Amino acid sequence: MKKMYLLAILLSLTIPNIYAQVAIIANKGVSANSVSIAQLKNLYTLQSSELNSQKVRLYFLTNEGSTLSTFLKGIGENNGDLKKQWLKAKLTGGSTPPEPVSSEDDVLSKVSSTAGAIGFISADKVNSNVKVLLEIK
């Protein structure tokens, strides 16, 4: 019994959390200091292109990992439905879909260097070049 208990403790320490803590990051020039889940969902589903009356440019992490999973779960959407909405917007001349980015480092770089930019990365990757608007756990 002691061995089973010890094994359970060791496994819990070595198996990474399935869902990462995700930071919604923004360029330091973005006027908002926070974003709600509802506002974030409206942005990524293209129902809005502004945050606090400021036009924003969105970046979307395409890497199929825990950061993306946590983000999608947090806004209550799935990847397939979002992509359908973005394709429809492109074809009908609607709102501009988020720019796809393949790595968290690239999201961080693009958000920090692009006026009005918003994206999401693992909370442990945040640096002083961006500001955090929200954390999704």
Q: What is the pLDDT of residues 37-90, one digit of tens each?
A: 999 999 999 999 999 999 999 999 999 899 999 999 999 999 999 999 999 998
Residue 14 lies in a domain: no
- Residue 63, φ and ψ in degrees, nearest 5: -60, 120
Range of the domain at 111: 19-136
Q: How far apart are CA 98 and CA 8, in angstroms?
A: 42
Contact 121, 23 (CB under 8 A): yes
Q: Which residue has the tokens 């918003």?
A: 118
Q: Is residue 6 part of a domain?
A: no
Confidence (pTM): 0.85
36 located within any domain: yes
> How many angstroms separate the CA atoms of 71 and 21, rounded?
9
Q: Read off the pLDDT of residues 28-52 as tens digits, 9 standing for 90 and up.
A: 999 999 999 999 999 999 999 999 9
Q: Work out how many domains the chain is built from and give that number.
A: 1
Residue 73 forms part of a structural domain = yes
Residue 70, in any domain of the structure:
yes
Instruction: Say which CATH number the domain at 102 has.
Output: 3.40.190.10
